[in-house]
Amino acid sequence: MHKKMTRVCLREAEQFVWITGENGCHCGGNQAWFEWKGQESRSHVARQGACGTVALANIAAYLAGKDPAYKGLYPYPDYSKASFLAHMEDLYGYVAPYHIGRFPLGVWPIGRLAAGMERFARDRGVTLHAARRDWFFSRRNVLRYVTEGLESDCPVAMLVGTHRLRQVEVAYPGRGSCKEDIGLHWVTVTGLETDGETVRFEVSTWGGRAVLNLDEYMKEKVYAGMMYFA
């Protein structure tokens, strides 16, 4: 007997932050795009550690497209790769990864991610707040929080820890798929699917789409967290 599948997702999950580039379309931004001419060290740190910045850029762009009240979060005329990279660089000014020299340490803790996004919005005349919940980190509460965000049509930034979810198959629209690193990595949750037991999160990462298992995610509680904004 087949188990009944339930899906909760963003209204525009199928074309989440559809970015057009010279090599085809992308589902959300990609930290590998960061590059400042003449600033190789800064570019390297961003490419290796600015996944949290990109997750916020994805969220800001999605919110700007769904509601006029959020329009100021993405002031660019299109979703070309060049425009979206400029948008990513805007966010980088508010939420950049910690680093020691050329060694990136990533964007953490989660409060820093939230505060940077709120400052970014405020400077653009947009009222936006992190959805903070004083809930214990448990499987039930993670699922509860992600469902709450998606049902509100708000993408969820999720930090993956250091457990077995270190690599995942990422699909690129019309260009196949490949394995990408997601250890200590921020992704953007766009949907979830469950049969009542197994829960799979649909996420945007590295400019493509991937699926993460909730039970695998829960195996790491130290470097883990999530946040949506409304």
Percent of the chain predicted with pLDDT > 70: 97
pLDDT digits (tens, 9 = 90+) for 46-68: 999 999 999 999 999 999 999 99
> Is pLDDT at 172 greater than 60 in this prediction?
yes
Of the CA atoms within 13 Å of residue 11, those in its CB half-sphere come to: 8
CA dihedral 83, 89, 92, 98 (to 10 degrees): 130
Cα separation, 194 vs 54, whole angstroms: 27
Predicted confidence at residue 75, as pLDDT, reads: 97
Cα separation, 148 vs 166, whole angstroms: 26
> Is pLDDT at 224 greater than 90 in this prediction?
no
Predicted confidence at residue 2, as pLDDT, reads: 65
> Is pLDDT at 90 greater than 60 in this prediction?
yes
Predicted confidence at residue 164, as pLDDT, reads: 59
Cα separation, 126 vs 70, whole angstroms: 6
pLDDT grade for 110, boundaries at 50, 70 and 90: very high
Predicted confidence at residue 37, as pLDDT, reads: 95
Listed residue (214, 188, 186, 183) closest to 203, CA to CA: 188
Q: Treating both helix axes as pointing N-terminal to C-terminal, what angle do 51-66 and 81-92 enclose, rounded to 10 degrees? A: 120
Longest CA pairwise span in the chain (Å):
61
DSSP-derived secondary structure letter, 196: S
pLDDT digits (tens, 9 = 90+) for 17-37: 999 988 889 999 999 999 999
CB atoms within 10 A of CB 123: 12
Residue 167, helix vs strand vs coil: strand
pLDDT digits (tens, 9 = 90+) for 111-165: 999 999 999 999 999 999 999 999 998 999 999 999 999 999 999 999 998 765 6
Peptide bond into 109 cis (omega under 30): yes
Q: How far is CA 19 from the centre of its chain?
A: 15
Cα separation, 120 vs 8, whole angstroms: 28
Predicted confidence at residue 77, as pLDDT, reads: 96
The contacts of residue 229 (CB under 8 Å, 6+ apart) are 59, 63, 114, 117, 118, 121, 128, 129, 130, 131, 154
Which stretch of 73-82, 144-153, 163-172 has the lowest confidence by average pLDDT? Answer: 163-172
